[in-house]
Amino acid sequence: MLASAAMSHSTEARPFDDATAVSALGAGRFSADVDLGWAAPTAANGGYLAAIVVRAIAAHADPAGARRLRSLTLHYLRPAGAGPLELTVETIRDGRRIANVRVEATQNGKPVVTALAALAVPGLPAAGTWMPDPPQVAPAPQRDAPRLEGHRWRRDDDAHWLDVPGAAPAISHRVQLAPRFGGIPFSGRAPAAGEPAQAGGWITLPQPHAVDAAYVALCTDVWWPPGFEPLDRPAVAPTIDLTIHFRADIPPAGLPDQAVLGWYRSSTARDGLVEEDGLLFLGDGTLLAHSRQLALLIPA
């Protein structure tokens, strides 16, 4: 989860695929190289780390692409810094329809992330089908649309991407954002009674990229938290746990390149903890994923 700004966006960053790549070491072990160009703000972003975990799961448990990642729950044990990350992936159960996988990620010999995942074969028989309607918002800008400063932004602007402030966390400069929900972080504007705090909008990478499972994982945690808007001073919100339910049939090569709409809401902040629920959609209304996370919410 994004926190208040501390790391400069000038931090060099490798492209998303390079920054989330894993290399096989044998016996279910993989290595990755954490890139703090994807930090939020002083350690690696939770969605970025989730994307690395997704890559390791696919390489170990589904190299042929016969299954689809459907559930991933991650617990973040300590901040991940720049440099080598070692992942151990273990298949707990390999059933006919569902496979269950455990992942442990360490850095400098210390545990950083622990995760459980479920993969399912595509085309499972369905006893029923229902889905949420996508929110009605202005369409996404074209990828090469110019950027516009935040003080001039309108939520119906479909001709610009947001010009993210220079002091924002590094990861927010790795993507293009077009806000559609909520307002300005730390503006002190509380939501109306009975309504959740909201944030989100359209997300895309600067260069074309398929919407694969790793990229979806990134998008669940790439936006600033909805709980920031009601605050009147900077705070940090490091993620404790993140669960992602992948609801679309996302093949290994991904869905065609396009913007993703992220809609993030928070109903409760209490005792230094805040929850966030996310929905990710494509422009045609396809539901990509549900996400839910619990984070600290503490003064910067």
Residue 19 in this model has a pLDDT that exceeds 50: yes
Band (80; pLDDT cuts 50, 70, 90): very high
Q: How many residues does the chain have?
A: 300
Q: Which residue has the tokens 């992602």?
A: 244
Q: What is the pLDDT of residues 3-12, one digit of tens each?
A: 433 344 445 7
Integer CA distances (angstroms), 208 to 131, 164, 170, 211, 216, in order: 28, 20, 20, 10, 14
224 pLDDT more than 70: yes
> Does residue 3 contact residue 237 with C-beta atoms inside 8 Å?
yes
- Tell me what pLDDT residue 11 has: 53
In three-state secondary structure terms, 153 is: coil
For the stretch 89-123, pLDDT in tens is 999 999 999 999 999 999 999 999 999 999 999 99
C-alpha span between 179 and 150 (Å, rounded): 10
Task: Give the model confidence (pLDDT) of 24-75 as tens digits.
Answer: 999 999 999 999 999 987 799 999 999 999 999 999 999 999 999 999 999 9
| CATH number assigned to the domain covering 16-122+140-299 | 2.40.160.210
Contact 52, 22 (CB under 8 A): yes
Q: Whole-prediction pTM value? A: 0.95
Listing DSSP states for 69-112 in one string gives EEEEEEEE-S---SEEEEEEEEEEEE-SSEEEEEEEEEETTEEE
The 10s digit of each residue's pLDDT in 249-264 is: 999 999 999 999 999 9
Find tokens 């992936």 and name the residue: 89
